[in-house]
Copies of this chain bind each other. A is one copy, B any other.
Amino acid sequence: MKSPSQPRDRGIPEATVARLPLYLRALNGMAERGIATVSSEDLAAAAGVNSAKLRKDLSHLGSYGTRGVGYDVEYLVYQISRELGLTQDWAVAIVGVGNLGRALANYGGFVSRGFRIAALLDADPEIVGDDIAGLNVEHIDELEAVIGRRGVSIVVLATPAVAAQEVCDRVVSAGVTSILNFAPVVLSVPDSVDVRKVDLSIELQILAFHEQRKAGGPLMAVDSQ
């Protein structure tokens, strides 16, 4: 016998966590369009996944659907937001204000989802002092002070590759345990620190691999099978 308010299972599979933001976005779109209830089938279609998978994912958060009806859009938005920790606001610092850092600072998708850019930092004196997305770019020397003073808990690394590890070390020393890394290097951090990596060129290389396959690559001419 499970109490309906059974707090969600503490062990949510990583694969599920990675899809929750997808569901959340789809649900937000539906809420805006005034849709009150949605079936797993429809929501799965909107998120581009299999409906059984979606139901299993949601079941990890608790039993929030109604059989024969579906899920209440607004309630589900709230539950997923809470699970992802988006009901609080997260102070994010972006280190490295080159082209990419600038793009990130201006990217609306962050702010709209519980994230607040609390600082922009760079080492280049040419850039320090600039105003970008309504924020003043501060010098990297201020890193630790800024992190402490503004309660930064997530850092985005958009520095050149050579600087990434050093900045990372300082950030970790300052107590940050969540890092989003855009620099094309493998960061070494303590186990307690979470690093997610986004590498634009890797994605392209994976595409190239498949494209080569489809095209029947130059060297794979006659010998297949």
**Which residues of A are at the interface with B, using a C-beta cutoff of 8 A?**
7, 10, 17-18, 20-22, 24-26, 46-48, 82-88, 90, 92, 98-100, 102-104, 106-107, 109-110, 113-115, 153-154, 156, 177-180, 184, 186, 192, 194, 196, 198-212, 214-215, 217-220, 223-224
Q: Is the CB of A21 within 8 A of B88?
A: no
Complex: chain B residue closest to A215, CB-CB:
B153
* Given known A17-B209, A200-B198, A211-B194, contact A107–B100 (CB-CB < 8 A): yes
Complex: chain B residue closest to A208, CB-CB:
B85
Q: Is the CB of A7 within 8 A of B211?
A: no
Q: In the complex, which of the residues B26, B99, B196, B203 contacts A106, with contact meaning CB atoms closer than 8 Å? A: B99
Q: Is the CB of B204 within 8 A of A10?
A: no
Q: Give the docked Cα–Cα distance between A7 and B106 (Å).
A: 47
Complex: chain B residue closest to A88, CB-CB:
B218
Q: Is the CB of B82 within 8 A of A208?
A: no
**Distance between A207 CB and nearest chain B CB, rounded to angstroms:** 4
